[in-house]
Amino acid sequence: MHFDFEAALVLATLFTGVFWALDRYRWERRRGEGDRPPWVVEFSRSFFPVIVAVLVLRSFLFEPFRIPSSSMVPTLLEGDFILVNKFGYGLRLPVIHTKIVPLGEPERGDVAVFRFPPDPSSDFIKRVVGLPGDVITYRDKHLSINGEPVPMESLGLYQGPGASAYDMVTAFEEVVGEHRHRILHVQGRDSLNLRAEVPPGHYFVMGDNRDNSADSRRWGFVPEANLVGKAFLIWLSVDTDDWRLRLSRFGDSIE
């Protein structure tokens, strides 16, 4: 069962806000001197400002996420905890996600968090490679955008975190837009070839772990309305195999 923390925050804000306002503008003046207010009023007076601050911060500024899979290795590892810029792609109302202030749009190469189109209750993270109107071609594990091959340089065998013990994995440096980043290919695994034109108001996304990522090559485009924000910082990282902290990743920016 999916727990909607954002909806819970909104309900908590409304609940405590109502009791705070009723006490502030009606009940407080009726109480005798020294009378103690009911527990629900004391609770609301104490926590309403805190809950409002958390709601505003999480809904409009920054939101933490945990990386649950290896689809973005080597950029992001399973067990990384990241911060997402919520206002970079425009301010949206919590719960209903309606954009109220357009502040910007994704750029090629951004690492973006979005609500998974087939199941919007789940959040996904991938790299934006195609903007509205772009023609994306992926053939023999090489990406082209609008007929131009994306620069890609081999870095040799990859044996870092997230690599499979049963596959030979090659790392490459790829340049998409203004972003220079590493990607992985599994040697001997077939390429998922395609050609697709990105429709208006949609984006084409891919994982950096190219042969181990379910992305737009499989389930289609990301609607603009599903965007959550741009990932920009790793603030904590935990190796999920032995639960050790990966201190060297603390504070790393996400490119």
Is 156:170 a contact under the CB 8 Å cutoff?
yes
Q: State the amino acid at position 224 in one-letter form.
A: E
Is 205:230 a contact under the CB 8 Å cutoff?
no
Longest Cα–Cα distance in the chain: 80
What tokens appear for 85 in the block? Answer: 């810029």
Strand locations in the chain (E)? 62-66, 80-85, 91-92, 99-101, 111-115, 123-130, 135-139, 142-145, 148-149, 152-157, 169-176, 179-186, 194-197, 202-206, 222-223, 227-239, 244-245
User: Would you tell me how many other CB atoms lie within 10 Å of the CB of residue 60?
Assistant: 16
User: Would you tell me how many other CB atoms lie within 10 Å of the CB of residue 99?
Assistant: 14
Is 230 a known active-site residue?
no
**5-22 and 39-56 helices, crossing angle to 10°:** 130
Hey, which residues does 83 pair with through a beta bridge?
A: 64, 233
Residue 88 to residue 103: CA distance in whole angstroms: 6
Is 71 a known active-site residue?
yes
Active-site annotation holder among 44, 59, 70, 71: 71
Hey, which residues does 204 pair with through a beta bridge?
A: 130
Residue with structure tokens 């077939």?
A: 190
Active-site annotation holder among 86, 126, 141, 230: 126
Active-site residues, by number, are 71, 126
